[in-house]
Structure 1
């Protein structure tokens, strides 16, 4: 979509994303390119992350002054996130801010969140994730807590229909025992809402030392587990404060939506893979 600005007889065209749902959030970009960021970049991101609304309206020189870096450093930070420049960084920030505006209609907020999860996982290229799952000799799913337990059961139940057996790891003792025998041809799906549980982070780091592939499922925000993981899947939750008897309600259905669509995409991947194998077999006979 092209946006037009008319100013003193000039017409300026520039491209903006069609929808906030069509692009990654800034947190996701930071997770994806975290290894490319230096200390200055992380300081810039920390300032932006803590002053999102303010930074939406700052010129590049103003942000550089507040972060005590050069405007070139700000520009390089944006480029390291695969953005064309500071202008595009501000567009992403504006869209992020629009997404997080408080919605007084709880029903609409929850439904919008469902739609966003569906859109993001539907459009995500999961080919590499499916390849590593197919190559794995043993598949594990790990998470700590009651909610994570339900999500693990859903992964096991869903993928069993495709002949993929995930072994459910629970607690600390079992994880510590297994990490010593984990191999490169194993795959771990690790579930953590915050992505900051210290035991899980230590567990993931030990797996990385052994070159064991990790697929993380976390909330969409900058988090340590996503940075460690080889592949990251994100979901969203909606917190509705004091919905009944001063008890907060957090909708977690998005995790199950994510798993179901991921499974459907996996089945589609298998179908296409089988077609290609059949075509190659026919060509070899000819």
Structure 2
């Protein structure tokens, strides 16, 4: 699990000092990798105990483990001159992450939900929704595909805590989607989010998080940037396969 993911997971237990520490670390990862705990405390104008508690709040054993995470992430972030390797490595990270993720609680929620709704705004999100519906339909799970703002708002009148929402947002910062998620939380309706692996508001609101390592490569010749979306479909297909394995295990109990 990456640091961004740990921050999202333990967001509710963090205070103002913790967010200030994380803001500094996230903007100076290479520098912080080499700083002693007293040096980082000085940079953030807090005590060394506050730094230690921050690390522990995000489930790390201490500052040493925080530095290990930073070192690993810094190594991953090094420029790769071979863009093909960069692309394939990106896919590998997504596969490894979802393969190792314990999805038991997500699958239990899928099975217990009265109705399952999937919502996202945009062409990419629309394709992801269709693929989710197509795959899980083979298991008897039917996803209600919400499209448009008015349909989502209208749906709020008829759903409750027995239902489940899957919200798809590339950035996790779409204002309407996040406002909609907040309204679902008021009604105690569980949410699964699918976003990029980074600190984002939708992940903080959601009960369960699924992440992809999105990749953008620049074509310097044509002056065009390409956003590769295959990671989303890798995530969905492996999630579906894990669900099939989960159902097999349940049938044997």
Q: TM-score, normalised by structure 1?
A: 0.87
**1:284 equivalent in structure 2:** none
Q: Which has the higher contact order (CA 8 A, sep 6+)?
A: 2
Displacement of 1:102? 1.7
The count of aligned residue pairs is 253
Q: What is the Cα-based RMSD across aligned positions, in Å?
A: 0.9
Q: Please point out which of 24, 33, 37 is paired with 2:14.
A: 37
Q: Please point out which of 151, 156, 159 is paired with 1:182.
A: 159
**1:103 equivalent in structure 2:** 80
Displacement of 1:181? 1.9
| Structure 1 residues 109 and 50: CA distance shift in structure 2, 3 A | same
Q: Deviations over 1:149-203 (max 9, x none)?
A: 1111110111111111101111111111112221111110000011111111110
Is the Cα contact below 8 Å between 2:13 and 2:57 reproduced in 1?
yes
Q: TM-score, normalised by structure 2?
A: 0.98
- Tell me the secondary structure at the aligned position of residue 195 of structure 1: coil
**Runs of 4+ that moved beyond 6 A:** none
| Structure 1 residues 205 and 89: CA distance shift in structure 2, 3 A | same
**1:251 equivalent in structure 2:** 228
Q: Please point out which of 193, 198, 213 is paired with 2:190.
A: 213
Q: Please point out which of 194, 198, 204 is paired with 2:175.
A: 198
**2:216 equivalent in structure 1:** 239
**2:243 equivalent in structure 1:** 266
**2:133 equivalent in structure 1:** 156
- Tell me the secondary structure at the aligned position of residue 101 of structure 1: coil
Q: Please point out which of 60, 64, 75 is paired with 1:83.
A: 60
Is the Cα contact below 8 Å between 1:201 and 1:225 reproduced in 2?
yes
Q: Hey, what's the Cα distance between the residues in 2 that align with 1:64 and 1:32?
A: 23
| Structure 1 residues 131 and 166: CA distance shift in structure 2, 3 A | same
- Tell me the secondary structure at the aligned position of residue 261 of structure 1: helix
Q: Deviations over 1:54-73 (max 9, x none)?
A: 11111111111111100000
Higher alpha-carbon deviation: 265-274 or 102-111: 102-111
